[in-house]
Structure 1
Amino acid sequence: MFHFNLRQMTIKKITALFLILTCFACEDYIDTLPEGQENSENYFNSKSDYEDALVGVYDLLSTTYLNNILGEIASDNSLCGGETPTDVLDWQQIDDMTHTPDNGALRSVFQFMYAGISRANYIVEFQDKIDFEGKEQLLAENLVLRSYYYFELVKFFGDVPLYTNGRITIEESQSIPRTPKAEVYAKLEADLQSTIDDLPWQQNQNGRVTKGTALSLLGKIYLYQEKFELAATTLDLVINSGQYQLVDDFSTIFLNSNENNSESVFEVQYFGGEGGSFDCFQCVEGNIAVGFMGPRFTGGDFAPFTSGFSFNPPTQELYNLYSADDERRDATILSMESFIAENPSVTFSLGNELDYTGYYNKKYIPYAEANSGDVNLTHSNNYRAIRYSDVLLMAAEAYNRSGLNDSKAKDYVNLVRVRAGLDEIQTSGTNLTQDIYKERRLELAGEGHRFFDQVRTGRTNSIPNFSNKNVLFPIPRIEIELAGNNWEQNPDY
């Protein structure tokens, strides 16, 4: 058992270990690498050294706030929003599908994920240096985290350079080409399969990787490759384990008071008590996305919420897709009209009027709490990265699209629907496929999955301004240049 808190023991307390990676927003993470190698061979001399190193790998999960918000803004679920049509221009461009290889948000995703991978590789590089009790589990957690970071990269960029044996060096970046995503997926499959026996179903500490995490991620990777039979059997291991169950009341799932609940398969832990600033987003221990997505309240009593920057407003079309008796609608989307009707003293700013819809992402809305400044950046809302309902719907899709078992697929979908207060469905075949797709959208709206679901299933027609090249995001231009122009750009960018 580890004796640390995954969020409160922050990167600042292990700066000496991760000097090579702590300033990748200021200059390229590869550029600073040689400095960190000076004393690295003198590390990993005790179990606590490995445990501290693993904290650093977990710590970069905090940067996936950006993946979450971009996965919604790029889709038909929401618009960019903000204060003006040029507020956070990188996000506006992604919303409009006008982004280029110079988009700063996409470079951040690329850097953040590779920083996490390089930290994981640091442990891999020295994994044989000493033995200690619990080493197998620690190394298994590390591989699952690395697989998670790589999966995010493949979702965004397709083929990506595959580094697995150690920290990423300048020499490697200039000699290793982009690896075909099928090869990356094959490596992730092998790594995840190798971890299953060394991971427990339950951890003594919230946020730690479990057997359910590894199996669910593996099942999702199979699903993305349309390996439906493997996805179905893998996800069934999670479902049949009896370790997870749907929370009875959907409206409580995303409350800060109900984090790490029975539905949580993998949850990114955030902490609002340390503080942070706009100078270093990767240093912030709070959930940055939350403050960006809240309404811009200007007066009155708007408890229990607090003000935000009005990004990522859900569309009218998404709101209308929910039936009036679907309990998920009002737990997923905050209608400002309804909120004002119940709280007439409240005033707020429309922000970017071109994108104002009257709706906000209630799943990740900022709550008033005793968080440290900058209070807009340090909200403690955990990110529910993999929920049990997601596992059920992935398994349903796998059983249906493989033709293996429509009856089981319906059973899984209906578990999710009944929890939402809806009647069971009785469809089959392609009609059931469409029902599953719709159910995923309604169940997971606002959680960052929508755009990637649309791309992998070829249902991108409803995304405004979408063209064929947008199935992938461009590799950041500066990263290609730093790699000695060794990497080809994605088509048509």
Structure 2
Amino acid sequence: MKNYIIILLSLMILWSCEDVLDKPPLDTITDKEITFSKKEMELYANKFYGNFPTHEGYWLGIFEMDNSSDNMISGDYNYNAQLAGTIQVPGSGGGWDFSKVRSANFFLENYHKTEEELSTVSAYIGEMYFWRAWFYFDLVKAFGDVPWYSKTLTTESEELYAPRTPRNVVVDSILVDLDQAIAMLPEKGQETEGRIYREIALLFQSRVALYEGTWEKYHNGTDFGVDNADWDKYFRKATEAANQVMTSGHFAIDKAGTSPSEHYWGLFNQEDYSNSQEIMLWKKWDLSLNLYHLASAFFGVSDKNTGISKSLVNSYLCTDGKPIAVSDLYLGDDLIDEELSNRDPRLAQTIFVRGDVRNISGTDTSFFSVPDLTLEARLRNTTGYQLAKGNNPTADRTSNQDITGSIIFRYAEVLLNYAEAKAELNECTQSVLDESVNLLRDRVDMPHLTVDPGFDEGASKTFPQLSQLMNEIRRERRVELACEGYRFDDLMRWAAADIIQRPMLGAKIQQYADIKDEFRPVLVPEALFSKNGYIAPYENSPAKDGWQFNPNKNYLKPLPSNQLTLNPNLEQNPGY
């Protein structure tokens, strides 16, 4: 292969010679030139940080990732072709890309050349084990079985013609890489600001292990299952990794703002998370360095052709700790004020409510009135429920130079991973709930979840085949992590095709009957198609009765056809 040119990511030099999340590159080096000095290792590792999801671009980044799930409804039913069931076999590309793995392998294969003391460079080596695990996890989620490459290959390497490695074997290798990372990375408080540290690797290890455990359990006996599945092994690993973070003493759940009505919303719109006990890793933006993003354009101008789904809104409990299907406190959804009354405060802190501050610019303050249902297609709100989580009212909307910090990892996920894995192991005691799920509920003064929830939704359960306790743990995950990009992965690992195939609806149209005059001129009347009185963005599309997701095919992506030609030992995924 041609020498791999290492392009140092333009947003990453050290802030005060240290912080890699905040600065652009210092130099460019090639494989031949690198001697693996400490500085070269640092520069090599810097370029990988751009693989974390942040607010970059005109879109909302991490918050809009839930467009690929039942939490949000893009105006384009084919926004995620895998979800929609319209994905085609690509001629090339399609995500089947091992170039980043190769870059990590080059480092891991050659760092021994260094003349530095291992103790002074071990953190960079640990980072590279983390990144190889990160890249391989993305490949496993997309394709299932993938070849495992642990060294730098050339065009002559026999491994290029090997068959795919079973997914559970690849995941085992990912977990070993993370064990290596955990052993070599500094713990929280000892790391260089903005860099990966031990507890980040532990959080990610709990994520990987929980994903594989649930995938193997809920896909067992299908074409997507694995031979000799051992899901409890992964659940055990997930609990162990999460527990190490929980017992480290470094983290807690933040209560941003002055009251429960702000404690949750206020977590997602800060410019500086340096003092946060919950935000484990984040990206700082700095106008003095010309580093900013454009998320304020999303909140301040329009809803960018998406909206919160009725399904997500319905998942929030009432303040008695019961679902709307069984709570006497639920007032119905004829009026938005009634729908939000007596509900988990996180609902009103996730969507815009009439009267919410939308933007503060100098002495002028604008307030939210109605969703942007009638803007042109690329800007409109699609459902009647408009996303407020992540909105920073003080962001600069004049120049769209937003410096709201980008959250990459937060402690809440650790608690949710722990609770779910423990429940899967049938070890979810009241103590487990009190040190995980109930810490999240305490933030917004919601009743504690108990091992016996005290109610049964019956046919209204989201997952009828599971216990009410497991339904509540999954509900808590959905609500707490809403619109942060987790939901699609959750639906895939839970084999939840029945959810994906349900109609996607928004709010009742009559909620806005008394304020029609406040609507902007109707530019796209199809935005208001309805089904049984509810806004139905897909009513005039092939997805009017639900996405055409094929459970015998669409849980994985197809391999590109050129790779099947180049390597006859590769086999296509089921259904393609």
Q: Check whether TM > 0.5.
A: yes
Contact 1:267 / 1:385 at 8 angstroms: preserved in 2?
yes
Tell me the residue number matched to 1:487.
570
How far residue 367 of structure 1 moved from its aligned partner, in angstroms, is 6.5
Contact 1:236 / 1:395 at 8 angstroms: preserved in 2?
yes
Q: Determine the C-alpha separation between the residues in 1 that align with 2:176 and 2:345.
A: 40
Structure 2 counterpart of 1:242, from 240, 244, 249 = 249
Residue 49 in 1 paired to residue 40 in 2? yes
Query: Which deviations, in whole Å up to 9, do the C-alpha atoms of 1:195-236 show, x marking residues without a partner?
Result: 223222225544311111111111222212322223222211
Q: Determine the C-alpha separation between the residues in 2 that align with 1:270 and 1:177.
A: 44
Residue 124 in 1 paired to residue 118 in 2? no
Q: Determine the C-alpha separation between the residues in 1 that align with 2:32 and 2:158.
A: 19
Residue 361 in 1 paired to residue 387 in 2? yes
Query: Which deviations, in whole Å up to 9, do the C-alpha atoms of 1:276-323 show, x marking residues without a partner?
Result: xxxxxxxxx7667x47xx65xxxxxxxxx4335614422122123224
Distance 1:188 1:311, change over 3 A: farther
Q: Determine the C-alpha separation between the residues in 1 that align with 2:300 and 2:379.
A: 21
Structure that is richer in helix per residue = 1
Q: Determine the C-alpha separation between the residues in 2 that align with 1:184 and 1:320.
A: 38
Contact 2:349 / 2:389 at 8 angstroms: preserved in 1?
yes
Contact 2:62 / 2:484 at 8 angstroms: preserved in 1?
yes
Contact 1:469 / 1:491 at 8 angstroms: preserved in 2?
yes
Report the secondary structure of 1:394's partner residue. helix
Tell me the residue number matched to 1:60.
51
Tell me the residue number matched to 1:98.
86
Q: Determine the C-alpha separation between the residues in 2 that align with 1:419 and 1:173.
A: 51
Amino acid at match of 2:44: A
Residue 262 in 1 paired to residue 277 in 2? yes
Farther off after superposition, 54-63 or 239-248:
54-63
Amino acid at match of 1:238: V
Contact 2:355 / 2:369 at 8 angstroms: preserved in 1?
no
Residue 186 in 1 paired to residue 166 in 2? no
Contact 1:62 / 1:286 at 8 angstroms: preserved in 2?
no
Contact 1:72 / 1:449 at 8 angstroms: preserved in 2?
yes
Q: Determine the C-alpha separation between the residues in 1 that align with 2:24 and 2:243.
A: 36
Query: Which deviations, in whole Å up to 9, do the C-alpha atoms of 1:93-138 show, x marking residues without a partner?
Result: 345332223399x83x554xx4443332232132111132421121
Distance 1:150 1:384, change over 3 A: farther
Contact 1:80 / 1:95 at 8 angstroms: preserved in 2?
no
Amino acid at match of 2:266: T
Tell me the residue number matched to 1:474.
557
User: Number of matched residues?
Assistant: 436
Structure 1 counterpart of 2:488, from 429, 446, 451 = 451
Q: Determine the C-alpha separation between the residues in 2 that align with 1:346 and 1:463.
A: 25
Distance 1:366 1:166, change over 3 A: farther
Distance 1:286 1:237, change over 3 A: same
Residue 425 in 1 paired to residue 465 in 2? no
Q: Determine the C-alpha separation between the residues in 1 that align with 2:380 and 2:154.
A: 43
Q: Determine the C-alpha separation between the residues in 1 that align with 2:22 and 2:51.
A: 13
Contact 1:10 / 1:59 at 8 angstroms: preserved in 2?
no
Structure 2 counterpart of 1:137, from 118, 123, 128 = 123
Contact 1:199 / 1:210 at 8 angstroms: preserved in 2?
yes
Tell me the residue number matched to 1:401.
424
Report the secondary structure of 1:267's partner residue. strand
Contact 2:254 / 2:267 at 8 angstroms: preserved in 1?
yes
Distance 1:175 1:41, change over 3 A: same
Q: Determine the C-alpha separation between the residues in 1 that align with 2:481 and 2:427.
A: 25
Query: Which deviations, in whole Å up to 9, do the C-alpha atoms of 1:17-70 show, x marking residues without a partner?
Result: 3xxxxxxxxxxxxxxxxxxxxx52221352211110010122333589799568
How far residue 460 of structure 1 moved from its aligned partner, in angstroms, is 3.1
Amino acid at match of 2:383: T
Provide TM-score, normalisation by structure 1.
Answer: 0.76
Superposition CA RMSD, Å: 3.8
Tell me the residue number matched to 2:143.
157
Distance 1:92 1:240, change over 3 A: closer
Farther off after superposition, 418-427 or 317-326:
317-326
Residue 463 in 1 paired to residue 477 in 2? no
Contact 1:57 / 1:145 at 8 angstroms: preserved in 2?
yes
Distance 1:204 1:217, change over 3 A: closer
Q: Determine the C-alpha separation between the residues in 1 that align with 2:345 and 2:46.
A: 38
Contact 1:192 / 1:218 at 8 angstroms: preserved in 2?
yes
Tell me the residue number matched to 1:306.
300
How far residue 448 of structure 1 moved from its aligned partner, in angstroms, is 0.8
Q: Determine the C-alpha separation between the residues in 2 that align with 1:367 and 1:139.
A: 41
How far residue 438 of structure 1 moved from its aligned partner, in angstroms, is 0.4
Gaps of 5+ in 2: 1-13, 214-233, 256-262, 319-339, 359-365, 453-465, 502-546
Amino acid at match of 1:193: D
Report the secondary structure of 1:409's partner residue. helix
Tell me the residue number matched to 2:544.
none
Tell me the residue number matched to 1:210.
197
Q: Determine the C-alpha separation between the residues in 2 that align with 1:481 and 1:452.
A: 26
Residue 317 in 1 paired to residue 311 in 2? yes
Tell me the residue number matched to 1:27.
none
Tell me the residue number matched to 1:442.
479
Q: Determine the C-alpha separation between the residues in 1 that align with 2:389 and 2:426.
A: 34
Contact 2:419 / 2:437 at 8 angstroms: preserved in 1?
yes
Provide TM-score, normalisation by structure 2.
Answer: 0.66
Farther off after superposition, 452-461 or 394-403:
452-461
Q: Determine the C-alpha separation between the residues in 1 that align with 2:200 and 2:405.
A: 16
Report the secondary structure of 1:359's partner residue. coil
Contact 1:215 / 1:234 at 8 angstroms: preserved in 2?
yes
Distance 1:368 1:415, change over 3 A: closer
Contact 2:306 / 2:381 at 8 angstroms: preserved in 1?
no
